[in-house]
């Protein structure tokens, strides 16, 4: 079945450090890939997405490139801020009519220290 494997956390970085959160996937079809972010006490918000190989999703300084050859969708940011502290989820969705669902990774908790 479809699955997502994320880098285990928690991850703690200093402000302005470079961030990478690894994500790899297994899918039976051609998935769309997503990164969601969850701030304390809230639901998830879409951060970025990519729908086909070599697409790059970007938002709020975060980027991720859909790499079909390595089945990866790593999240990166060049200079993190305290406000980026949250839990980040990698997810995939395969277009399979009659069985639509988003498969999530376990999440990576990120803490940024001033």
Query: Which stretches of the chain bind other proteins, using CB under 8 A?
Result: 30-32, 34, 36, 41-46, 49, 51, 89, 93-97, 99-102, 104-107
**Nearest distance in Å: CB 47, other proteins:** 10
Which secondary structure element, helix H or strand E, spans residue 92, and what is its range?
A: strand 86-94
**Nearest distance in Å: CB 16, other proteins:** 29
Q: Coil, helix or strand for 27?
A: coil
Residue 42 or 114 with smaller CB distance to other proteins: 42
- Please give the structure tokens belonging to residue 38: 């969850």
**Nearest distance in Å: CB 104, other proteins:** 4
Q: Coil, helix or strand for 83?
A: helix
Question: Among residues 114, 103, 110, 93, which one has the least CA distance to residue 20?
Answer: 110
Using CA atoms, how far apart are residues 114 and 101, in angstroms rounded to an integer? 38
Residue 41 or 114 with smaller CB distance to other proteins: 41
Residue 32 or 80 with smaller CB distance to other proteins: 32
């Amino acid at each position: 079945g479809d699955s997502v494997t994320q880098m285990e956390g928690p991850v703690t970085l200093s402000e302005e450090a470079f961030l990478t959160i690894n994500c790899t996937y297994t899918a039976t079809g051609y998935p769309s890939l997503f990164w969601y972010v969850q701030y304390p006490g809230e639901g998830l918000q879409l951060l970025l997405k990519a729908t086909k190989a070599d697409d790059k999703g970007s938002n709020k300084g975060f980027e991720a490139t859909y790499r079909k050859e390595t089945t990866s969708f790593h999240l990166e940011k060049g200079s993190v801020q305290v406000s980026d502290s949250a839990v980040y989820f990698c997810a995939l969705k395969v277009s399979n009519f009659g069985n639509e669902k988003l498969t999530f990774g376990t999440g990576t908790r990120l803490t940024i220290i001033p």
